[in-house]
Structure 1
Amino acid sequence: MPCTTILVGKNASNNGSTLIARNDDNGTGRFDIKKFAVVLPSMQPSVYHSVLSHVEIPLPANPMRYTSVPNIEPEAKQRGLWAASGINAANVAMTATETITTNPRVLAADPLVEYVPAANGQPEKAGGIGEEDIVVLVLPYIQSAREGVKRLGMLLEQYGTYENNGIAFSDHDEIWYLETVGGHHWIARRLPDDCYSVIANEFSIDFFDLEDAVTTQKNFMASPDIQEFVEANHLNLSKGKFSARLAFGSHTDSDHVYNTPRVWYGQRYFNPSSFSASANDLVKGPASDTLAWCLQPENKITVEDVKYVLSSTYQGTPYSVFSGGPQSGLFRPIGINRTIFVSIAELRNDVPAPISAVEWIAFGSNVYNTIVPVYTNINTVPAYLSNTTMTVNTNNFYWSSRLIAALADAHHDQEIIYIERYQEVVDSKARALMLEGEKAFHAGDNAVDFCDAQNQKICAMVQKETDDLLYQVLFTASMLMKNGYARADN
């Protein structure tokens, strides 16, 4: 999946929360149909069956409840669930995955584990695990972000993977980011608490402490044999400190159009005094190959900042998709038409733990949608988020968001004022409902009932505001149809 990920440490966010976020972008020519769901322990299988790779994996007993953003039926039968992102009952979040790349030296030494169908009298050969599978295999069984890395690492070592991916984990204290290396190897790095990271479809971790990864594992973890793997296959290309990006990543000219500009724009937003807008700047411009994996932001980062960057079309630069200038559309935007949802997992440290986990959700192209805060300590999900159907209808958030985007994009300059008002109104009203409810929450209250009720209130407001916006966007688009005529004939 061609996605964009943002990680924000607890000392880099405005309220002391950890934030992990990802745009889930479809490949060209497909739009997965999604819903927001909660998976209760009774719904989790005891043996997992992968649709794409046909691998079967026995699962531990006693899974936890967790949220997810799966494909709906019958889409799930064709390609699997693709649970994508979620937060579990222990307030541990993960998002999976950021599709990344590696190089032929790595793949030759540790090939991907690909599915081989039955042929010529030979039985099929199961493949490894991939984006379709990872959330279901890991999230219900982990009590911390660090445990998430270790469980996924164990699964990769045992079953392998058929694709290269990056996966983020968070809890109230830590954020970890894992990248797969070939078919069975992996590395993971802890995000410093005062830093953020923007990741865009490339092997992104730069400095990596191999010694720490195989000893204390304070800030780095990896496959147990990672040092031997690097040495045996002459993967270390660094003259100084070991760079995982150089060792395990790839380098193509297309990165400078498709990938690095997205990282550059995010770093430009969070560190505006440090970054050039010139495509010719090979050190700090959009074509740079050396943009840092993480940086300290110039200011504290909010959920709204994360959403803004994940909606980016390079506004404020010569590369803006909507500018019409000579460099317009030069780079692949972050806020692309193929985004099917965005999730921002916020684990707050300034409210009671039972009501602290919130997953901000939006569907469709981020330029035209709005994020909705959803408490995740829940047993039910409001119908507006969960009742997505294969048939287009406006009774759910998924299809309403997709319709608004498709109508508004054709008349962006005329429609964007209504979109921006909608985004501000929904955000303000949702936060007001959260504040009002949380002030009335007491230690002895039933947290699950509270979170279920809060979500219903928020979604009722969002549905009304979204319906109103859809009416306005449809009206404006109708007035601007090419077969319009100004003569009054009523």
Structure 2
Amino acid sequence: MSCTTILAGKKATYDGSTFAARNEDSGSGSFMPKKFIVVSPSEQPGKYRSVLSHVEIELPEHPMRYTAMPNATEKEGIWAAAGVNEVNVSMTATETITSNERVLGADPLVRYLPEKDGQEEQAGGIGEEDIVSITLPYIRSAREGVERLGMLLEKYGTYEMNGIAFQDMEEVWWLETIGGHHWIAKRVPDDAYVIMPNQLGIDSFDLADALGEKKAHMCSADLPRFIEENHLSLSFDGTLNPREAFGSHSDADHIYNTPRAWFIARYLNPHSFRWDGENADFRPESDDIPWSFVPERKLTVEDVKYVLSAHFQGTPYDPYAKYGDPAKRGCFRPIGINRNNFLSLVQLRPSLLPELCAIEWVAFGSNVFNAFVPFYANVNRTPDYMANTGERVTTENFYWANRLLGALADAQFSLCKSHIERYQAAVPIEGYRILHEYDERIGAGDVRGGDAVKLLEEANERIAVMVQEKTDDTLDKVLYEASCQMKNGFSRSDA
């Protein structure tokens, strides 16, 4: 599953929040409808069975409530994708990442093998379908999330290479799988942000810390032996660069992956390095773009939405450009692509009541054309407009309305751009206004427990009504522009 992830520590953001954001994108030629829901403890199974790999896992008792962004249809499983649990711990899973032949030969992925020629079925490992559902309801910190998922990976293995983010009020951690059973995890520095574009990304790692105090690194217990026995470290000085040891550097990476990291870092750190020209420090195809950066200024929600919607605007590679060399337009895979399923940013705000601190920003469809909507996460249900997605195309839910909006606006980009820009600004402006109102009502009124939840759900309903009105209005405007450009149009009227 192709995706792009942005993580930020609490000293790197405008309000001291931790950020964890990810685009989930469908594979080439496919589009998966998504919805935004709440999973209650009563809906969580005692034994989990994967649809794709058939692995069965006994789950702990007493799961917690959590939000999720599952597939609208479960023929391929749940794919809960991203969410926040009731103690304000978040995770997003997964960023599909790359590896190399040496790693996968030494620790093969755990593939599902169906019954065949008298051989019994062999269950596969865990994967993106499963990871949120078997982890998020049971963890009370980001660090606990790493520990639980690490245990599950060692016990059951995985059938794919993945990166997973865990977040609480204090810490953000990034975990990467290595082969079928091994893993590493690194804490995002408090003053930094991390970019992950479908590659194994961690570029430095302290094994002594991971096997000792675990201040900022964790890993599977036998990782040093695994590295040594299979001659995986490529450094001359004994340091470990996981990207070199466990990752890939293919021609495909230079078209599909590294250009996304280049654009995001170029936008957020424009003066820190030379990004363009013959003497550039980093180019779109560079394999050594750092995993983390200290930003030149504090990051905002709007920054995250902009870079995760990017189509290389302002560069020669923009597919919508009307300038520069036509041969360069669209040569790299955009971040905001036609097959974005959703974008989720969890913002854990400090100095607020626990009921108020978790905001989940949500967008569906192609990020170039959609709007970012904030919702309180500590609720028992989400608005129907966000939760009722099915296979039927309809403007009565946010997913399909945005898919339609993007398809229409893309075909007439120049004519529709102003409508989209106004829409993308109007929705979060009104969303912020409603958040400020309810933050004050709940915080100042000493509202707690069930009463607070009711008010949060009321706020979410108001936000959903607002965004539906603005989405419908924008769809009307874009439909008009597209209709006027139909090839069967004719200027003479019947009147």
* Band the TM-score falls in, shorter-chain normalisation: over 0.9
Whole-angstrom CA distance in 1 between matches of 2:493 and 2:277? 50
5+ unaligned residues in a row in structure 2: which ranges? none
Tell whether the 8 Å contact from 2:36 to 2:382 is kept in structure 1 after alignment. Answer: yes
Q: Does 1:113 align with 2:110?
A: yes
Tell whether the 8 Å contact from 2:273 to 2:281 is kept in structure 1 after alignment. Answer: no
Q: 1:168-179 counterparts in 2 under 5 A?
A: 168-179=165-176
Q: 1:438-453 counterparts in 2 under 5 A?
A: 438-441=439-442, 442-445=445-448, 446-453=451-458
What TM-score, normalized by structure 1, do the two folds share?
Answer: 0.98
Letter in 2 for 1:273: H
* Deviation (angstroms), 1:439: 1.2
Tell whether the 8 Å contact from 2:86 to 2:378 is kept in structure 1 after alignment. Answer: yes
SS state at 1:5 partner? strand
Q: Deviations over 1:52-96 (max 9, x none)?
A: 000000000000000001112xx31x2111110000001001000
Whole-angstrom CA distance in 2 between matches of 1:62 and 1:309? 38
Aligned counterpart for 2:251 among listed residues 234, 250, 253: 253
* Deviation (angstroms), 1:282: 7.1
Tell whether the 8 Å contact from 1:8 to 1:18 is kept in structure 2 after alignment. Answer: yes
What residue is the counterpart of 1:64 in the other structure? Answer: 64
Letter in 2 for 1:418: H
Whole-angstrom CA distance in 1 between matches of 2:378 and 2:438? 15
Tell whether the 8 Å contact from 1:69 to 1:85 is kept in structure 2 after alignment. Answer: yes
Aligned counterpart for 2:78 among listed residues 76, 81, 88: 81
Letter in 2 for 1:87: V
Tell whether the 8 Å contact from 1:18 to 1:175 is kept in structure 2 after alignment. Answer: yes
Q: 1:348-367 counterparts in 2 under 5 A?
A: 348-367=349-368
Whole-angstrom CA distance in 1 between matches of 2:278 and 2:122? 48
* Deviation (angstroms), 1:443: 2.5
Tell whether the 8 Å contact from 2:5 to 2:21 is kept in structure 1 after alignment. Answer: yes
Q: Deviations over 1:195-223 (max 9, x none)?
A: 00111011100000011001100000000
Whole-angstrom CA distance in 2 between matches of 1:28 and 1:179? 23
Tell whether the 8 Å contact from 2:438 to 2:456 is kept in structure 1 after alignment. Answer: no
SS state at 1:97 partner? strand
* Deviation (angstroms), 1:468: 0.5
What residue is the counterpart of 1:221 in the other structure? Answer: 218
- After superposition, the Cα gap between the structure-2 partners of 1:280 and 1:110, relative to the gap in structure 1 and judged at 3 Å, is farther
* Deviation (angstroms), 1:239: 2.2
What TM-score, normalized by structure 2, do the two folds share?
Answer: 0.97
Q: 1:125-136 counterparts in 2 under 5 A?
A: 125-136=122-133
Whole-angstrom CA distance in 1 between matches of 2:109 and 2:176? 14
Q: Does 1:391 align with 2:392?
A: yes
Whole-angstrom CA distance in 1 between matches of 2:162 and 2:180? 11
What residue is the counterpart of 1:141 in the other structure? Answer: 138
Letter in 2 for 1:483: N
Q: Deviations over 1:156-179 (max 9, x none)?
A: 000000000000010000000000
What residue is the counterpart of 2:382 in the other structure? Answer: 381
Letter in 1 for 2:5: T
Q: Deviations over 1:4-23 (max 9, x none)?
A: 00001110000000000000
Whole-angstrom CA distance in 2 between matches of 1:81 and 1:236? 37
**Which moves more between the two structures, 345-354 or 303-312?**
345-354
What residue is the counterpart of 1:289 in the other structure? Answer: 287
Whole-angstrom CA distance in 2 between matches of 1:154 and 1:233? 22
Q: Does 1:15 align with 2:15?
A: yes
* Deviation (angstroms), 1:250: 1.2
Tell whether the 8 Å contact from 2:90 to 2:168 is kept in structure 1 after alignment. Answer: yes
Whole-angstrom CA distance in 1 between matches of 2:292 and 2:311? 22
Q: 1:180-195 counterparts in 2 under 5 A?
A: 180-195=177-192
* Deviation (angstroms), 1:390: 1.4
Q: 1:399-418 counterparts in 2 under 5 A?
A: 399-418=400-419
Whole-angstrom CA distance in 1 between matches of 2:47 and 2:107? 27
Tell whether the 8 Å contact from 1:116 to 1:124 is kept in structure 2 after alignment. Answer: yes
Whole-angstrom CA distance in 2 between matches of 1:279 and 1:162? 41
Whole-angstrom CA distance in 1 between matches of 2:204 and 2:275? 25
Whole-angstrom CA distance in 2 between matches of 1:129 and 1:41? 21
* Deviation (angstroms), 1:488: 3.2
What residue is the counterpart of 1:482 in the other structure? Answer: 487
Q: 1:257-276 counterparts in 2 under 5 A?
A: 257-276=255-274
The Cα RMSD (Å) is 1.1
Tell whether the 8 Å contact from 1:279 to 1:287 is kept in structure 2 after alignment. Answer: no
Work out the number of aligned pairs and report it: 487
Letter in 2 for 1:66: Y
What residue is the counterpart of 1:48 in the other structure? Answer: 48
Q: Deviations over 1:270-314 (max 9, x none)?
A: 101134444766741111111111010001000110000000000
Whole-angstrom CA distance in 1 between matches of 2:446 and 2:31? 43
Q: Does 1:463 align with 2:461?
A: no
* Deviation (angstroms), 1:352: 1.5
What residue is the counterpart of 1:99 in the other structure? Answer: 96
SS state at 2:5 partner? strand
What residue is the counterpart of 2:120 in the other structure? Answer: 123
Aligned-pair identity (%): 55
- After superposition, the Cα gap between the structure-2 partners of 1:281 and 1:482, relative to the gap in structure 1 and judged at 3 Å, is farther
What residue is the counterpart of 2:193 in the other structure? Answer: 196
Tell whether the 8 Å contact from 2:203 to 2:241 is kept in structure 1 after alignment. Answer: yes
